[in-house]
Amino acid sequence: MKVALVGIGKIAVDQHVPAITNSPDWELAATVSRHGSVDGVEAFTDLGELLETRPEIRVISLCLPPVPRFAYAMQALQAGRHVMLEKPPGATLAECHALEAAAKAAGLTLYATWHSREADMVPAAKAWLADKVLKKLTVTWKEDVRRWHPGQDWIWEPGGLGVFDPGINALSIVTEILPHDIHVTDAVLEVPENRQTPIAAQIGFHHPQGADVSATFDWRQDGDQIWEIEAITDGGTLRLSGGGAQMEIDGQPSGEAAALDGEYPRLYDRMSALVQKGGSDVDLRPMTLVADAYTLGRRDTVAAFHEDG
């Protein structure tokens, strides 16, 4: 299938282009971007022009920041194209519901992707937790924003999510592996005095079986990056680390440690299957938790953040 990639930034170049190029199911047929391009691929600066001149491209994959994404997605759906959304699927939940309704009405595929769910050990963690009683779950997601999001000022503006841009990855795993849904009960959001979105957050959750569930997100991490989820149950303790690439049960490794380079290929495999069977996949639970954290969260002003330190 021919696919057009819209938004040629860091995530597109690092993840989407290799995943498409190495897939037997896909051909990168065009790009749309004001600033970026891919060697050997026809480049457009306007989505409308691509939709008009390349009707054989049936799938549009959007890698734009969240705020402008809705307009592009709706334009593609209204032109009869299937749409794949980078996480988070939009700037607001209402936007996502509108896109889902439009795709359903047109009989098109809409896929709200969560790449961290495709980490190697996430399915194994889900299977292990399925018959356990959860007592405590702790999420610790700490990374260096300068390392992973250099120069991406949009992330600090309204709709950019701030530390929830990586934090939503953790929540996408949690909502996938837990047998029961959780919801936010309290949150503290640490917002730099010169920014609009938080640089750190602490969140508490309600669990229907009474488990103690909490998350700590921080973008000021020096040294080793930490992406961990620990679940204490009646049957032992599970620990996911490396963003879901490694798993331990009671301190013992379970399976081989894996790299995260399989996440995006699996997303495109899933999109291929959805298009072929005429289905959609729009799970908004991770985004709902983030929205509720913003609604309930107390804002604490912290020191200014500057890209150059």
Delimit the domains of the chain by residue range: 2-112, 116-255+291-302
Tokens 């500057």 map to which residue? Answer: 306
- pLDDT of amino acid 254: 85
The answer to whether 99 and 70 are in contact (CB under 8 A) is: yes
Averaged over 195-221, what is the pLDDT? 98
pLDDT at 257 > cutoff 60:
no
- Tell me the CATH class for 116-255+291-302: alpha beta
Would you call 23 helix, strand, or coil by DSSP? coil
Would you call 247 helix, strand, or coil by DSSP? strand
pLDDT tens-place string over residues 1-14: 999 999 999 899 99
Which of 265, 250, 115 has the alpha carbon at shortest distance from 176? Answer: 115
- In sequence order, which residues have a C-beta less than 8 Å from that of residue 107 and are 6 or more positions away? 278
Percent of the chain with pLDDT over 70: 98
The architecture in CATH of the region 2-112 reads 3-Layer(aba) Sandwich (3.40)
Q: How far is 278 from 135, CA to CA, in rounded Å?
A: 40
Averaged over 298-309, what is the pLDDT? 93
Averaged over 167-188, what is the pLDDT? 98
Strands 59-62 and 2-6: parallel
CA dihedral sign, ordered 66, 145, 225, 11? positive
**87 is annotated as an active-site residue:** yes
Q: How far is 203 from 184, CA to CA, in rounded Å?
A: 7
Q: How far is 154 from 91, CA to CA, in rounded Å?
A: 12
Q: How far is 249 from 112, CA to CA, in rounded Å?
A: 31
More confident residue, 10 or 192: 192
Averaged over 35-58, what is the pLDDT? 96
pLDDT at 261 > cutoff 90:
no
- pLDDT of amino acid 212: 98
pLDDT at 28 > cutoff 60:
yes
Secondary structure tally for the chain: helices H, strands E: 10, 15
Find the catalytic residue in 87, 132, 136, 142: 87
pLDDT at 255 > cutoff 90:
no
- pLDDT of amino acid 72: 98
Q: Which two tokens stand for residue 234?
A: 């009646």
Q: Which residues on adjacent β-strands are paired with residue 249?
A: 238, 252
Q: How far is 252 from 247, CA to CA, in rounded Å?
A: 8
Q: Which residues on adjacent β-strands are paired with residue 42?
A: 30
